[in-house]
Chain A
């Protein structure tokens, strides 16, 4: 193949790409996004997506616990009125700068790390990360040793000390195992959004955005590009899937 031929084919390639890009543009400023659809039920999750969250602490109201109660309702988590041992998948944290007395409020839950310490320490393989970045506990394998609870820098995991009698069929939970935020994996697999994000939106705060951080066209990616998103304890190098603004 001559040098000229190569140039021609490259030119035509560039031309085709430009045509394709133009086809995606309906009108100036209006773009056709890939419609996010639920994956077919019989297909495994892939590492082509990574689910993440972006939380804007400026929008998170300090008295509001809509995300916490939505999580509890969704996952059938009930209090036994024993705060030290009650399960908790998401909690509200208030941070106050002692010098400036500036306060920020934020929801704290499993940060769905890329390199999760809970997975490193699990002796049975019950703590694992799905290909799409969601960190879960396989309760079928969990022996309740609680190493993961000790390893987690975010205090994100809870142990079920007591018989769970109010489970819902899509989130089976039971005594003697560790549990934490699943990013509402049962919803996500069906194309839904986590309950906390939905509740935050319904409460008209809109402080939480959920989406695929590997897809440059997703809302979360655009926001991350524009505003950035900090990791809590970035020094640990865990590359968390949950990012915060304004901390």
Chain B
């Protein structure tokens, strides 16, 4: 009787093991050999095939690269593009994309939604490439610091109805 129980026990373990194997084969092995329940992260649509670092490295360390770059840009004015958030977006989010951060189709949120990692980058930063033509920055770098830009200057003193020390401008 004891021997029978032991045999049953072994059989159960074997069946459980096989079932687990079959399940993992079903779950983890998609045709591309990727975990099938992991999100499909959109790849760049501009023909770029390689990221600024190997994909595995980026998966693991992108937050560190971004944090480091953030401080360098903000405090030291270093504006290299390699680890810039703006360049991530310019490359990974198609120009005509309607996906916004939070949607599963958006490059960043596709994975962040899955991993349940909240980020607040896009409360301030743009989650899509900017339409440069619509930008107000029309003359970036076209007016060098030293150049005297003044056209023939005419001093216009328009009359004003301000009757006391007053503030005008956008707060009117």
Contact = CB atoms under 8 A, between A and B. Distances in A.
A135 to B, nearest CB: 12
Which A-B residue pairs are the 5 nearest by beta carbons? A174-B124, A36-B146, A206-B150, A73-B136, A44-B76
Interface residues of A, number: 83
A91 B145 contact: no
Interface string B50-89: 0000000000000000000010101111111100001001
B6 interface: no
The size class of the interface chain B forms with chain A is 35 or more
- Chain A interface mostly helix, strand, loop or mixed? loop
A73 B129 CA distance: 18
Contacts of A4: none
Contacts of A132: 77
Contacts, number: 187
Given A128-B75, A169-B129, A175-B123, A65 B169 contact: yes
Given A138-B75, A205-B156, 7 more contacts: A93-B165, A103-B162, A186-B140, A188-B145, A190-B79, A192-B140, A201-B150
Interface string A152-181: 000000000001100111101111010000
A199 to B, nearest CB: 10
B78 A44 contact: yes
A219 B149 CA distance: 10
Nearest to A77: B170
